[in-house]
Each structure stands twice: as structure tokens, then as C-alpha cells.
């Protein structure tokens, strides 16, 4: 079934607005689930297609942000399930975009970003999920809604994840 031209045009405008508003954050989310170069871009395409397909069914029962992140989360889960077993090679390169004009600061930020992403990848999956969504500025309520868990559980997972991240980052420093 195809949409009437005006409905399709409206949908395209709505999709473009959603992707303009949430695309960068969704790209970072996709990259956080990626283990190999290019995998994040592939996942982002899957997420965009899923959003395109689901957008006509958005009824406003939650925020638009929660809606698109829930779709992204579900696509990422399906992506992970397809590529089992999820192993991380500490020597793997992770692509992290840094848009700063100072090359020294950009290099430092990129190195810190790689260390953080490697540490997040070292977390058990449930903890990595809450950290990734928290890094996108989502509230406990939004994270709980996206993951289908309680806010209390979000808080507990974040507390444990932060402790694990501290240990992982310290151990990668050689401390």
C-alpha cells in the first residue's frame, strides 16, 4: 500500500525533522553497539529504516525522543543477536567523531573517547545500555521507558556501571 503524495511528503518532512533532531545521538548510540569499523553506520541505517517504518504509528503516548530511542535500542538488540558471540578485542579501532578545531585537544578527546567506548564495551550488556543512554542525556525515566525497566533499576545499574567503568579505566591506565 502506498501513501498518497501529500501524506508521503508529510511523512518525509516528519522523518527529516526527527533525524535532524535525534540523528547525531542515534549515531552515537549505534556506534556504541559497534565492534568493527563500519558496523555503526550499518546499524544506523537499520535504525533509520525502522524509524521510517514506525513513524506513521507514532501516537504521542511518549516523547518523540523516547520513541526513536526505543526503536534504536530494539534494532541494536536485534543487531547484537545476529552477530553473536559479542567479543571485544582491546586493540580494535573505534570510530569516534570529534569536531574541535584544536588538533591536540581533538587527539586527546579522541583517545579519551576510545578508552571510554572500549570500557563501555567491556561492561555486561545491561550496564552498557544504561550508560550509553545516560551519556545521551536521557533521564532515568526515559531510560526506564526505553529499556522496559524501573527507574530504581536504572539507578542501580548506573551506579554499578560507573564503579565498573572506573575499575576498567584504571586498569587500562596500568594503575
Q: Measured in Å, how far apart are the chain's first and last C-alpha atoms?
A: 61
Is residue 93 assigned to a domain? no
**pTM for the whole thing?**
0.64
* 141 lies in the same domain as 61: no
Give the tens place of pLDDT for each residue, 112-131. 777 887 888 888 988 988 99
Count of alpha carbons within 13 Å of 18, Cβ hemisphere only? 27
- Predicted local distance difference test score (pLDDT) of residue 107: 65
Is residue 162 assigned to a domain? yes
Give the burial class of 31: count Cβ atoms within 10 A of its Cβ; 0-12 exposed, 13-18 middle, 19 or more buried.
buried
* 76 lies in the same domain as 14: yes
**Residue that has been written with the C-alpha cell 576510545 in this structure:** 114
Amino acid at each position: 500500500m502506498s501513501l498518497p503524495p501529500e501524506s508521503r511528503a508529510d511523512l518525509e518532512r516528519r522523518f527529516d525533522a526527527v533525524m535532524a533532531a535525534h540523528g547525531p545521538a542515534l549515531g552515537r548510540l549505534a556506534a556504541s553497539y559497534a565492534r568493527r569499523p563500519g558496523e555503526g553506520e550499518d546499524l544506523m541505517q537499520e535504525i533509520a529504516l525502522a524509524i521510517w517504518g514506525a513513524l506513521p504509528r507514532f501516537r504521542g503516548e511518549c516523547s518523540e525522543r523516547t520513541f526513536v530511542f526505543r526503536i534504536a535500542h530494539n534494532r541494536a538488540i536485534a543487531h547484537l543477536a545476529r552477530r553473536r558471540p559479542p567479543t571485544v578485542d582491546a586493540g580494535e579501532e573505534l570510530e569516534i567523531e570529534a569536531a574541535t578545531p584544536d588538533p591536540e585537544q581533538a587527539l586527546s578527546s579522541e583517545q579519551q573517547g576510545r578508552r571510554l567506548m572500549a570500557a563501555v564495551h567491556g561492561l555486561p550488556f545491561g550496564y552498557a545500555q544504561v550508560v550509553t543512554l545516560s551519556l545521551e542525556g536521557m533521564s532515568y525515566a526515559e531510560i526506564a521507558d526505553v529499556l522496559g525497566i524501573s527507574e530504581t533499576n536504572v539507578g542501580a545499574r548506573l551506579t554499578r556501571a560507573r564503579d565498573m567503568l572506573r575499575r576498567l579505566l584504571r586498569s587500562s591506565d596500568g594503575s
